[in-house]
Amino acid sequence: MKDSVIHLGLAGLGTVGSGLVKIIQENSDWITRRLGKTLKVKTIMVRDLDKPRNVHPSPDTHFTTNMDELLHDPDIDIVVELAGGIDFPRQLITRALSAGKSVVTANKALLAEHGPELFELAAQKNLGLYYEASVAGGIPIIQTLKESLAGNKIKSITGILNGTANFIMSEMSEKGEDFAAVLAKAQAKGYAEADPTLDIEGIDAAHKLVILIRLAYGLDFPMDRLTINGISQVEQFDIALAQEFGYRIKLLAQVREKSGLLHAGVYPALLRQDHILAKVDGPFNSILLDGNAVGPVMLYGQGAGDLPTGSAVLADILALSRTDCPPNNTGFLETRLPLADILAPELTVFRHYFRFTVVDRPGVMASIAGVLGEYNISIAQVVQRQYAPDAGVPIVFLTHSAQMKNAMAALDTIKEFSFVLAPPVHYRII
Ligand SMILES: NC(=O)c1ccc[n+]([C@@H]2O[C@H](COP(=O)([O-])OP(=O)(O)OC[C@H]3O[C@@H](n4cnc5c(N)ncnc54)[C@H](OP(=O)(O)O)[C@@H]3O)[C@@H](O)[C@H]2O)c1
């Protein structure tokens, strides 16, 4: 990359690829001023050569459906993977690194599932594999953890990492609408995919959390060891009641370190209304972390979209185009990061929100409180709602801190009482 032009080979000209091309076109003078070089998109690989495009790279940009034209072109300095999926980009990135080309990707699903093997290959080849856009779109969290906060031990990270889920939870809170109605609205606005599973079941946020854990702790936390609960079961009733107690329900991705053990998960949880993350509304993302030297740091911004995500991809391209320092992919020297020591989920400690739907008769509240007491769960607040014929009476308990295994055992016991009419509802309180 010693020439005055950095040649890019792009795989994917969809939302993010188009955003990247637009920024390169619009900010080319600015980029040259920073880099002393110009960026040129030499070749773009797509699935369908005949598809109409809403961006027009320079007339000499070559379009192809053949991966080899990215990999075997000696002019191409950096391969930029913006196609999505798993199998195709895994093959493309593996082959690009093997062919001696650094790679930029926005693909969190691929990095969460196959990151270790790809980072190992990049390290063996002494090449860059950069991924700023893979977590929280335009928010520069990767570089922040890898470089700016490298001197800190990170005690915890709590993030709103999925804009679709946050839009849905915000609308449910503000408009009083049910999950299904708000999901349909999110799909109409383009915030949610036709198949929203990855977003609403917490899987997309879990992919991003795995990437953040590697950067913050230098440890690999396998996806299948994460606690993952989505928002598809969240009911308007609990949102409204949480609000009365002074809380909002948000889909949070969280990792906490205690005595060398990590606990990590994605779950809807109650946040106090004055918590800084409770104010993050709509499709926005935010990450709050706690470093042992810096203290709390919060980042906020657009977690998706063509230009915000393209901005993050471009930052990686600029970083890799500066040849004066070796690539820093994971932020740690190990070729393969060690596995995290994981705190068993049942040993985690939270405050809890329980809702029981019960028959309206004397002694019910005392029976439930008795079981909570047996399991060492101390009650902070309790509220019982008006009797609604046939539907039973909702009783909500907010507890002080209690171990998850005690919370689960108490719920298992209580749900067997004959006066309990529906499965209990349970949320963590952060
Ligand atoms: N969208 C966002 O806001 C956002 C934010 C952060 C991260 N990301 C990540 O960025 C990546 C790209 O997302 P996107 O929203 O830009 O996707 P997209 O709009 O669906 O575009 C995908 C592009 O890749 C091309 N493509 C897909 N499979 C291909 C294959 N097998 N061979 C050749 N070309 C292929 C498509 O070609 P055709 O155009 O010919 O169909 C299309 O141009 C994903 O990993 C996503 O998770 C996206």
Q: Based on the residue annotation, tell me whether 208 is a catalytic residue of this protein.
A: yes
**Ligand 1 pocket residue status of 12, Cβ below 6 Å:** yes
pLDDT the model gives residue 56 = 86
| Mean pLDDT to the nearest integer, 217-223 | 97
pLDDT the model gives residue 261 = 98
CATH number at residue 387: 3.30.70.260
Residues 168 and 242 in one domain: yes
Mapping DSSP to helix (H, G, I), strand (E, B) and coil, where does residue 247 land? strand
Euclidean distance between CA atoms 204 and 12, whole angstroms: 20
Residues 85 and 201 in one domain: no
Mapping DSSP to helix (H, G, I), strand (E, B) and coil, where does residue 258 land? strand
Mapping DSSP to helix (H, G, I), strand (E, B) and coil, where does residue 74 land? coil
Q: Two tokens at 102?
A: 């650094």
**Ligand 1 pocket residue status of 51, Cβ below 6 Å:** yes
Euclidean distance between CA atoms 80 and 11, whole angstroms: 6
Residues 173 and 283 in one domain: yes
Q: Which of 40, 42, 208, 250 is catalytic?
A: 208
Residues 224 and 85 in one domain: no
| Mean pLDDT to the nearest integer, 256-262 | 95
Is 328 among the domain residues? Answer: no
Contact between 79 and 106 (Cβ < 8 Å): no
Q: 225 CA distance to ligand 1 centroid (A)?
A: 28
- 133 lies in which domain range? 5-137+308-321
Residues 226 and 147 in one domain: yes
Atom in ligand 1 nearest the alpha carbon of residue 11:
34
pLDDT the model gives residue 199 = 97
pLDDT the model gives residue 194 = 86
Is 371 among the domain residues? Answer: yes
Is 166 among the domain residues? Answer: yes
**Ligand 1 pocket residue status of 17, Cβ below 6 Å:** yes
Residues 120 and 154 in one domain: no
Euclidean distance between CA atoms 314 and 39, whole angstroms: 10
Residues 13 and 96 in one domain: yes
Q: How confident is the model at residue 189 (pLDDT cuts 50, 70, 90)?
A: confident
- Of 245, 273, 301, the residue at which a domain comes to its end is 301
Residues 151 and 253 in one domain: yes
Mapping DSSP to helix (H, G, I), strand (E, B) and coil, where does residue 285 land? strand
Please give the residue that has the higher pLDDT: either 193 or 170: 170
**Which residues sit opposite 261 in a β-bridge?**
258
- Of 271, 301, 331, the residue at which a domain comes to its end is 301
As for how many domains the chain has, the answer is 3
| Mean pLDDT to the nearest integer, 117-126 | 97
Is 20 among the domain residues? Answer: yes
- Would you tell me how many other CB atoms lie within 10 Å of the CB of residue 236? 16
Euclidean distance between CA atoms 54 and 70, whole angstroms: 22
Q: Two tokens at 324?
A: 């004066």
Question: Angle CA(26)–CA(314)–CA(281) in degrees, nearest 5?
Answer: 95
**Ligand 1 pocket residue status of 283, Cβ below 6 Å:** no
pLDDT the model gives residue 190 = 85
Q: How confident is the model at residue 19 (pLDDT cuts 50, 70, 90)?
A: very high
Reading phi first (left if > 0) and then psi (alpha if -120 to 50, else beta), residue 5 is in beta
For the residues of 133-193, what is the DSSP string, one character each? GGTTTTS-HHHIIIIITTTSPEEEEEEE--HHHHHHHHHHHHH---HHHHHHHHHHTTSS-
CATH number at residue 274: 3.30.360.10
Residues 150 and 221 in one domain: yes
Residues 121 and 199 in one domain: no
Is 98 among the domain residues? Answer: yes
- Of 301, 336, 362, the residue at which a domain comes to its end is 301
- pLDDT digit string (tens) for 376-396? 999 999 998 776 667 789 999
Is 327 among the domain residues? Answer: no
Handedness of CA 278, 280, 282, 285 (dihedral sign): negative
Is 331 among the domain residues? Answer: no
| Mean pLDDT to the nearest integer, 94-121 | 98
**Which residues sit opposite 62 in a β-bridge?**
43
Residues 295 and 146 in one domain: yes
Is 383 among the domain residues? Answer: yes
Residues 186 and 291 in one domain: yes
- pLDDT digit string (tens) for 326-345? 899 999 999 999 999 999 99
